[in-house]
A and B are shown apart, each in its own frame.
Chain A
Amino acid sequence: MPSFSILSASNNTFRNQRPDEKTILVVRKHWITLFGPMVFLIFFALLPFIASYFIYQVSWYDTITDLYWFIITVYFLILWVIFFGNLMIYSLNVIIVTNQRIIENHQQGLFKHTLNEMRLDKVQDITVEMNGVLANILNFGNILIQSAGTQNEFYFTKIPHPDKVKKTIMDARNECGSL
C-alpha cells in the first residue's frame, strides 16, 4: 500500500540534503544507552500494580476505585509520553555519512539540538576505542575523527560496530578524494 511505504522503505533522506548528495550510512548510538532509562521506566510502570496490591486491602478502597483507575490511566499516559520522549531523543541522535560530508545531529532535548558537519575530503584520521568487557561483548565503542579543517575533530560515543563504521567512512573518503 503506497500510503504505508513510509514505514518500510526509505532513502534515508534528511533535512538540508543537497541535490547531488547520497546517504551512505546512518548510525545511531548503541541500544545500551537506552538501558538505564528503560529500567527506570519499567520500574515505574510496575509501581501501580505493586501499589494496587496494598490498596485493595484497605477498607475505603471501594469509595475511590474509579478515582484510582483514572489516576492510573493518567500515570500510564505520562509514562508513555516520557518513554517515547526518550526514544525520540535516541532516534534523532544520529550520524549521517554521505558521499560529501559527515553530519552529526545531537538532540539534547525536545527543542534543543546541535548540528555539526565535516567535509568528507577533510577527514584525515579515524580512531576507534572499545573500552571494557561490555563494549567488547556487545560490540560498541567510541570513534574519533580528525580533520584538517577548522572543525578539528568529531568524537562519537557508544557507536555500534565501530570498526565497520570506520571502514565505511574511510571508503567514502577515499572515493570522495578520488573524484
Chain B
Amino acid sequence: MNNMSLDVITNNGSLISLIGFLVILILYLWYTFAIVYHFVRFGVGVRPKVLAFVFLVGSFILFVLMVDAYFTVDWTSLIETIITPPV
C-alpha cells in the first residue's frame, strides 16, 4: 500500500506541484487585490496611489519571475528524488 501511494505521488508530481503553485497564486492574488484596493479606495492624497502603483509593478515583475522559475523546475524527477530512498 505504501509503495502504491509513493507511485501515485511520483506519477503525479507535476499535478502536485501545480496544485501547490495554484494555492500560492490564489493567496498572492487575494493579498495583492486587498492591498491595492485599500490603497486606492481608502488612501488619502497622492502617496497611497503612488505606493499602489509601485506595489503593482513590483508584484508583476516578481510574479513573472516566479512563473518562469516554476516552469524551469522538473517537478516529477524532483519528487521522485525526494521520495525514492537512496540505494
Contact = CB atoms under 8 A, between A and B. Distances in A.
Q: Are the chains A and B members of one assembly?
A: yes
Interface of A: 6-10, 12-15, 23, 26, 63-64, 66-67, 69-70, 72-74, 76-77, 80-81, 84-85, 87-88, 91-92, 94, 96, 105, 110-111
Contact of A85 (B35, B49, B70, B78): B35
B83 to A, nearest CB: 15
Contacts, number: 88
8 contacts: A6-B49, A8-B46, A74-B24, A76-B62, A80-B58, A81-B31, A88-B48, A110-B35
Interface string B59-87: 10011011001101110001001000000
Q: How large is the interface on B (under 10, 10 to 19, 20 to 34, 35 or more residues)?
A: 20 to 34
Contacts of B46: 6-10
B60 to A, nearest CB: 11
Interface centre among A74, A84, A94 (most CB of B within 10 A): A84
Interface in B35-58: 35, 38-39, 41-51, 53, 55, 58
Contacts of A80: 55, 58-59, 62
A111 to B, nearest CB: 8
B67 to A, nearest CB: 9
Contact of A70 (B31, B53, B70): B70
A77 B65 CA distance: 10
B72 A94 contact: no
A73 B66 contact: yes
B1 interface: no
B17 to A, nearest CB: 10
Given A66-B74, A88-B35, A91-B39, A77 B63 contact: yes
B50 A12 contact: no
Given A63-B81, A70-B66, A110-B34, A92 B28 contact: no
